[in-house]
A and B are shown apart, each in its own frame.
Chain A
Amino acid sequence: DIQMTQSPSTLSASVGDRVTITCRASQSISTWLAWYQQKPGKAPKLLIYKASSLENGVPSRFSGSGSGTEFTLTISSLQPDDFATYFCQQYNSYLYTFGQGTKLQVK
């Protein structure tokens, strides 16, 4: 299995901050990586696919970058609606795996 490790596990920030979440793969996955946002009691929502492609309807303050084994999700200016948990997911192999999640909370 390809292991996905996110850091940090918890991130405290304020509205307007620029925040970055990192996801590392245990082996190269090229750019086969997606990012999701999940709010309590809700299903995950796709934000970014193929490492840096923004899903339709997702605000442009979200961006993704990286390739190989290291990836980042950046929120350029945090909005109140952005406090949630974020997951990365690799799809380089058919055995899809997710990171353990990063909880973005109010500072």
Chain B
Amino acid sequence: QVQLQESGPGLVKPSQTLSLTCTVSGGSISTGTYFWSWIRQPAGKGLEWIGRIYSTGSTNYNPSLQSRATISLDTSQNQFSLKVTSVTAADTAMYYCARGRGGEFDYWGQGTQVTVSS
């Protein structure tokens, strides 16, 4: 059974960099069949796709983050990571990592709350 688990600081100061890691168990992130994404959800609101990475290292991002997001892979640790630079209060949200299949997301982490505040 594939499992994903997010980790990282729950509190980030404005203008700093948000860094999160997703650890995948029960399957290899090097499998070319899937891709790996980050998705966020502000409290009481809808879901926003942040970006994705394939096992080749190829990435795509949501332009709404204005090039502030970077997703990377660490195949030795079976992890992938998210960095968002120059954060503001608008980046406060629950952050999920997820496995993408054809385009749908079949496995999700439990989510980690990130608050941007001084």
Contacts and interface: CB of A to CB of B under 8 A. Distances in A.
Contacts of B52: 94
A43 B107 CA distance: 9
B47 A42 contact: no
Contact of A101 (B37, B46, B103): B46
B108 A94 contact: no
B47 to A, nearest CB: 4
Main secondary structure of the interface of A (DSSP, over half): loop
Give the size range of A's interface with the partner.
20 to 34
A45 B101 CA distance: 14
A11 B110 CA distance: 26
Contacts of A46: 104-106
Interface string A24-51: 0000000010101000001111100110
B27 to A, nearest CB: 15
Contact of B104 (A43, A89, A94, A100): A89
A91 B103 contact: yes
Contact of B110 (A43, A87, A91, A96): A43
A103 B110 CA distance: 20
Contact of B96 (A34, A43, A50, A99): A43
A34 B39 CA distance: 15
A89 B102 contact: no
B111 A89 contact: no
Contacts of B49: 95-98
A82 interface: no
Of A49, A55, A87, chain B has the most CB atoms within 10 Å of the CB of A49
Contacts of A95: 49, 60, 62-63
A94 B49 CA distance: 10
A87 B106 contact: no
A32 B47 contact: no
Interface of A: 32, 34, 36, 42-46, 49-50, 55, 87, 89, 91, 94-101
Given A43-B110, A44-B108, A89-B105, 8 more contacts: A34-B105, A42-B110, A46-B104, A46-B105, A49-B106, A50-B102, A91-B104, A100-B46
